[in-house]
Amino acid sequence: MARAPHDVPSPDPSLPTVSGLVVVDKPTGWTSHDVVARMRRLAGTRKVGHAGTLDPMATGVLVVGVEKATRLLTWVVGQDKTYEATLRLGQATVTDDAEGELVAAAEPAAVEAVTDEAVTAAVARLTGAIEQVPAKVSAIKVDGRRAYAQVRAGRDVELAARPVTVSAFDVHRITRTRDDAGRPVLDVDATVSCSTGTYVRALARDLGEALGVGGHLTALRRTRVGALTLEHASTLDQLAADVAAGRPLPVTTLEQAAAGLFPVRRLTAAEAGDLADGRRIGPSAGDPEEGPLDNDAVTAGLAPDGRLVALLQDRGDRGARMAKPVLVFLPGERFSAAPGTTARPGRDR
- Listed in sequence order, the DSSP H helices in the chain are 32-43, 73-77, 108-112, 116-125, 147-152, 200-210, 236-244, 254-261, 269-276
**Is the confidence at residue 347, as pLDDT, over 50?**
no
Q: How far apart are CA 193 and CA 314, in angstroms?
A: 30
**CB of 233 closer than 8 Å to CB of 61:** yes
The proportion of the chain whose per-residue pLDDT surpasses 90, expressed as a percent, equals 74
What pTM was computed for the model? 0.88
Instruction: Convert the pLDDT of each residue in 259-278 to its tens digit.
Output: 989 999 999 999 999 999 99
Tell me the domain boundaries of the chain: 20-79+227-245, 81-225, 262-328
Q: What is the average pLDDT across 103-122?
A: 97
Q: How far apart are CA 150 and CA 157, in angstroms?
A: 7
Instruction: Convert the pLDDT of each residue in 297-335 to its tens digit.
Output: 899 999 999 999 999 999 888 778 899 999 999 999 999
> Which pLDDT score, from 0 to 100, does residue 194 have?
98
CB count, 10 Å around CB of 347? 16
The proportion of the chain whose per-residue pLDDT surpasses 70, expressed as a percent, equals 87
Q: Residues 12, 25, 34, 55: which is the catalytic one?
A: 55
Look over the chain and give the mean of its residue pLDDT values, rounded to a whole number.
89
Q: Where does the pLDDT of residue 291 fall: very low under 50, low under 70, confident under 90, or very high at 90 and above?
A: low
Q: How far apart are CA 223 and CA 154, in angstroms?
A: 34
CB count, 10 Å around CB of 299? 20
* DSSP β-ladder status, 215-225 and 59-66: parallel
Q: How far apart are CA 122 and CA 206, in angstroms?
A: 9
> Which pLDDT score, from 0 to 100, does residue 342 have?
46
**CB of 280 closer than 8 Å to CB of 323:** yes
Q: Which fold has domain 20-79+227-245?
A: Pseudouridine synthase (3.30.2350)
3-state secondary structure of 160: coil
**CB of 58 closer than 8 Å to CB of 79:** no
Domains 20-79+227-245 and 81-225 belong to one CATH topology = yes
The domain made up of 81-225 is a member of CATH 3.30.70.380: no
Q: Where does the pLDDT of residue 285 fall: very low under 50, low under 70, confident under 90, or very high at 90 and above?
A: confident
Q: Which fold has domain 262-328?
A: 2.30.130
Higher pLDDT pick, 202 / 316: 202
Q: How far apart are CA 168 and CA 170, in angstroms?
A: 6
> Which pLDDT score, from 0 to 100, does residue 80 have?
96
Q: How far apart are CA 298 and CA 79, in angstroms?
A: 13
3-state secondary structure of 117: helix
| Residue 143 a catalytic site member | no
> Which pLDDT score, from 0 to 100, does residue 1 have?
43
**Is the confidence at residue 34, as pLDDT, over 50?**
yes
> Which pLDDT score, from 0 to 100, does residue 49 have?
97
